[in-house]
Amino acid sequence: MDIILENVGRRFNREWIFKDINYHFHTGKSYAILGINGSGKSTLLHILSGSLAPSSGKISFIDAEKSTSIDIEKVFAHIAIAAPYLELIEDFTLTEAIDFHFKFKKPLNNICQDDVIKLLGMQNNKNKQIKYYSSGMKQRVKLALAVLSETTVLFLDEPCSNLDQQGIEWYQQLITDYTRGRLLIVCSNQEVEYNFCENQLKIADYK
């Protein structure tokens, strides 16, 4: 799925967060949306995901194979998201969380529950409720569920939040192994989160 922005802006009350963004996000490419905390990265991500309307301009979602428009109501089926503000259901065990997630998203490459758990390295914690996981473990679960969903678009907002160095290396390998051919958009202000991205959009250029 391609995403096209035409003169897109968003304001809060009378203040513009960003404005006049003209940009084409192409299927199969990777993009970093860069800016300091509070600059509007997450707001732009909400617009790109179809969950927030722009205050000005137009956003289009295009089926890259068919060159046809995708209705805003159907965009969610094409995307997967991992972000700090999207919470896991913490009363679930890991096995329950995986099963629940893949009732709504098809697993990438038909990956099975055991393989997801093995990829996470959480075989010994699979029956423990997620509320007892560390913040780093929770972040790994969020990332794995998003990346391992069979969607054409993947949004990652501050993906290395709460990850230690080992977790960051795990994340980078996850990206290498499972995002080829997809539209990948990473919101970040830390280079380790986006150093593989081919393109950059700087929020400061649209103030």
Q: At what angle do helices 94-101 and 135-147 cross, to 10 degrees?
A: 30
The tally of CA atoms less than 13 A away on the side-chain side of residue 134 is: 9
- For residue 64, pLDDT over 90 is answered with no
> What's the pTM?
0.94
172: left (phi over 0), alpha (psi -120 to 50) or beta: alpha
Q: For 205, list phi and psi in degrees, rounded to 5.
A: -75, -5
Domains and CATH numbers, the chain: 2-206 (3.40.50.300)
**Cβ neighbour number for residue 17 with a 10 Å cutoff:** 18
For the stretch 91-103, pLDDT in tens is: 999 999 999 999 9
Task: Quote the pLDDT of residue 66.
Answer: 83
For the stretch 107-158, pLDDT in tens is: 999 999 999 999 999 999 999 999 999 999 999 999 999 999 999 999 999 9
